[in-house]
Chain A
Amino acid sequence: MSRSVLFTLRILLALLFAASLTAQVASGAIAGAAQAGPLSGILLALVVTGALCVEVVLVSVWMLVAMVQSEKIFDDRGSADTWVNTAIGALLAGAVVALGGVIAVVIVQLGEPDAAGWPLALLAATAAGVSAALALLVVVMRRLLHTAIQLRSELAEVI
């Protein structure tokens, strides 16, 4: 794996992490400016928990990239598995949170309709779909990782 690719990836991961933290810190102001009433609270909760899930995924990817760099990614002690599972868990949690957001917004809309309600529901639904799809993609990639680890350990026994 070329050094420049890994280096660039790490810089991007750090930038995304910083952006995610910024979103969390400024979430109160963003939600207050964009919405009023119960929708503001829902938006605030979505941004804070969603950003937390994104941060966990970023940390997992960071650790996996470190393993790739030190060529430990295919070691059959399963240390890579821990981080892959963490990423899957965080992505699934993100999907559940976003889905909860959709339901909450719909309930609020049925009570007292707001012009900005439906776009917010659509945005949360999109986030839920993307998050779930990514989680399933990582599950498939984990299977590939396991196959690669198995092949690597089998080949290591050939003299």
Chain B
Amino acid sequence: MAIVINLDVELAKKKMSVTDLAAGIGLAVANVSILKNGRAKAVRFSTLDAICAVLGCQPGDILTYVPDEEH
């Protein structure tokens, strides 16, 4: 995956648990876990919007582009 989600880093910075974030953005804890573990295939802008509002960060703080290593 070229796009990496750094949600765990942001959560650690804000000292917030997955449960708190899920409650804050109105999502199921399971879905937030999927997002945090990088197993999500797609994210809604509305979800991204809510995460940024709750964590007080920019989308760029959560999403990172990592080029695939070419062998």
Using CB atoms, name the residue of chain A closest to B32: A159
Interface of A is mostly: loop
User: How many A-B residue pairs lie within 8 Å, measured between CB atoms?
Assistant: 16
| Interface residues contributed by chain B, number (CB under 8 Å) | 10
Closest to A157 in B: B41
CB distance from A158 to the nearest CB of B (A): 4
Residue of A nearest to B34 (CB): A159
Q: Is B23 an interface residue (CB 8 A)?
A: no
* B18-42 to A contact mask, C-beta < 8 Å, 1/0: 0000000001000100110000111
A157 cross-chain contacts in B, Cβ below 8 A: 40-42
> CA separation between A75 and B35, bound complex, in Å?
23
Give 4 closest A-B pairs by Cβ, nearest first. Answer: A158-B42, A157-B41, A159-B31, A159-B40
Alpha-carbon distance A159/B5, docked complex (angstroms): 13
Q: Which residues in A have their C-beta under 8 angstroms from that of B35?
A: 159
Report if B1 contacts A (CB, 8 A).
no
Which of chain A's residues have a CB closer than 8 A to the CB of B40? 157, 159
Give CA–CA (A158, B46) in the complex, Å.
Answer: 11
